[in-house]
């Protein structure tokens, strides 16, 4: 079945540091890939997505590129802010063996940015 | 703004006392989902509706039921809450296509005493 493996956290960075959160996936076919962010006590918000190989999703300074050859979708940001502190989830949907309508989540990575 | 609304944001119930959580959407999406999320874990899908078609996950306990009376509303009923059902419950919606993201509500935090 489908699976998503995320870099284990928690991750603690200083403000303006470079961020990478690794995400790799196992799925058949051509899934869509997503990064969601969850702030404390809130629901998940879509951060960015990519729907085909070599697509780059970007939003609020965050970027991730759909790499089919390495089955990866790593999240990056050049300069993090305290307000980026949250839990980040990598997810996929639409594999050949899964449902188009269901998300498979990674375990989540807690990011804390210190001033 | 179009959105997913969950009420209440916080719900306290007693062990074994039935409780209903509600979700509404103004996005006119075909699909509505219910997730359970426990502390420091990813959301776990309980079930979803595609229009009126109900899709239950194989490992969702019978204690959890859902109703979708119309496109805009969906309810989660917990018939006899146990201490292990204390969690955040998230509602989400989607157009239902392969490339379509899910839009999440703010969640209802359920406490079972």
Give pLDDT, residue A99: 67
Give pLDDT, residue A101: 77
Q: Is A40 on the interface with B (CB under 8 A)?
A: no
Rounded CA gap, B32 and A105, in Å? 17
Exposure string for A80-100, b = 16+ CB within 10 A, e = fewer: beeebbbbbbbbbbbbeebbb
Reduced to 3 states (helix: H, G, I; strand: E, B; else coil), residue A84 is: helix
Q: Do A94 and B48 touch (CB under 8 A)?
A: no
Contact A47, A59 (CB under 8 A): yes
Q: What is the pLDDT of residue A96?
A: 64
Contact pairs from chain A to chain B, CB under 8 Å: 55
Reduced to 3 states (helix: H, G, I; strand: E, B; else coil), residue A81 is coil
Length of chain A: 115
**How far off is chain A from B56, nearest CA to CA, in Å?**
12
pLDDT at A87: 96
Neighbours of B53 (CB within 10 A): 10
Q: How far lies B38's CA from each of A9, B96, B108, in Å? A: 17, 25, 12
SS3 content of chain B, % helix, strand, coil (to 5): 5, 50, 45
What confidence category does residue B97 fall into, taking pLDDT thresholds of 50, 70 and 90?
A: confident
Phi first, then psi: give them for residue A27, nearest 5 degrees. -165, 155
**What is the structure's pLDDT at A55?**
96
* Chain B residues in contact with A31 (beta carbon < 8 A): 98
Per-residue model confidence as pLDDT tens digits over B10-66: 999 999 999 999 999 999 999 999 999 999 899 999 999 999 999 999 899 999 999
What is the spatial distance between Cα A103 and Cα A13, in angstroms, rounded to a whole number? 29
Q: Give, in order, the Cα–Cα distances in Å from B90 to each of A86, B70, B87.
A: 17, 19, 10
Q: Cα–Cα distance between A35 and A55 in angstroms, integer?
A: 14
* pLDDT tens-digit profile, chain A (115 residues): 889 999 888 999 999 999 999 999 999 888 999 999 999 989 999 999 999 999 999 999 999 999 999 999 999 999 999 999 999 999 998 766 666 678 999 999 999 999 9
Distance between terminal CA atoms of chain A?
Answer: 41
Arithmetic mean of pLDDT, B78-99: 94
CA of B79 vs chain A CAs: smallest distance (Å) = 24
């Amino acid at each position: 079945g489908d699976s998503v493996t995320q870099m284990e956290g928690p991750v603690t960075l200083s403000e303006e540091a470079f961020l990478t959160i690794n995400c790799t996936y196992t799925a058949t076919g051509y899934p869509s890939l997503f990064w969601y962010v969850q702030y404390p006590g809130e629901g998940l918000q879509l951060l960015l997505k990519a729907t085909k190989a070599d697509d780059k999703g970007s939003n609020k300074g965050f970027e991730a590129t759909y790499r089919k050859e390495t089955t990866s979708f790593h999240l990056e940001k050049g300069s993090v802010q305290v307000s980026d502190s949250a839990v980040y989830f990598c997810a996929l949907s639409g594999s050949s063996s899964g449902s188009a309508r269901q998300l498979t989540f990674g375990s989540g990575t807690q990011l804390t940015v210190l001033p | 703004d179009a959105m997913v609304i969950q009420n209440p944001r916080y719900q306290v119930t007693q062990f074994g006392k039935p409780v209903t959580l509600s979700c509404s959407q103004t996005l006119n999406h075909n699909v509505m989902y219910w997730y359970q999320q426990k502390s420091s874990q990813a959301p776990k899908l309980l079930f979803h509706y595609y229009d009126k078609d109900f899709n239950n996950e194989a490992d969702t306990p019978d204690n959890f039921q859902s109703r979708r009376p119309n496109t805009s509303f969906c309810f989660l009923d917990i018939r006899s809450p146990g201490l292990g059902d204390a969690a955040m419950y998230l509602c989400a919606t989607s157009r239902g296509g392969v490339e379509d993201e899910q839009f999440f509500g703010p969640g209802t935090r359920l406490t079972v005493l």
